[in-house]
Structure 1
Amino acid sequence: MSPDKFATIQALFPFIAIMASLGIGGWVLTTWMRIKNGYPLDGAWGQAIYPKTDQEAAERIRLLSQENAQLRAEMGAVKDRLAVVERIVTDGSHRLDHEIEQLRHKAN
């Protein structure tokens, strides 16, 4: 190898090392962020590593669907109760007193 080629390689080596280090550091940072935020990791050929089976994903979807249905039922009950409270608050006091008196007379 000639001395001028060797000098050129010596001059370029720090830049090549820096670029390789940045590439590896970026890959490590990206992988860490994916793990931290729950994104699936990719294997060597692009296949998903996590979740490992489709059964896990199906089970997770089933559990989330059940929770969603429960929350929707609870929200419906809360809306009904809120409607009753709004009706009581916006009703005139005279009408409310009249309804209470009617209930007292029915109880006797």
Structure 2
Amino acid sequence: MDPNLAEILDYVPLIVSGVVIISLAGILASWNSTRMKIKNGYPLEGMWGQSLKPGMTSEAQQRVTLLTQENAALRAELGSLKDRLANVERIVTDGGFHLTQQIESLRDSAPLAGLSREKVHDREGII
């Protein structure tokens, strides 16, 4: 027998056992994935994406429709909350001192330029 062939034949049991272990690991992973899908209510699919189990019943279809509508409503509400939060952040980060100065400059503007500050406050009902 050729010495090179004898060296190669020494590795054959390792190669075969490696292939068997990798195959079993793949089968176990597929089995676990299918088990988790069934446990959590996800539909099972075949090789080309066709639905296998559980079939889509009218109750399941109604549930999907309701969840889709609820999801759309929650997304709209989230969008409005983001807008409101942006306005609150703008107000909070706006300097209160600058806001006070702007209010005072508006009070001292042209239509009431002839009146003194005390008269303006009396006229507005602020004493």
Look at both structures and tell me which one has the larger radius of gyration over its CA atoms: 2
Q: Looking at secondary structure, tell me which structure has more helix per residue.
A: 1
The alignment's TM-score, normalised by the length of structure 1, stands at 0.47
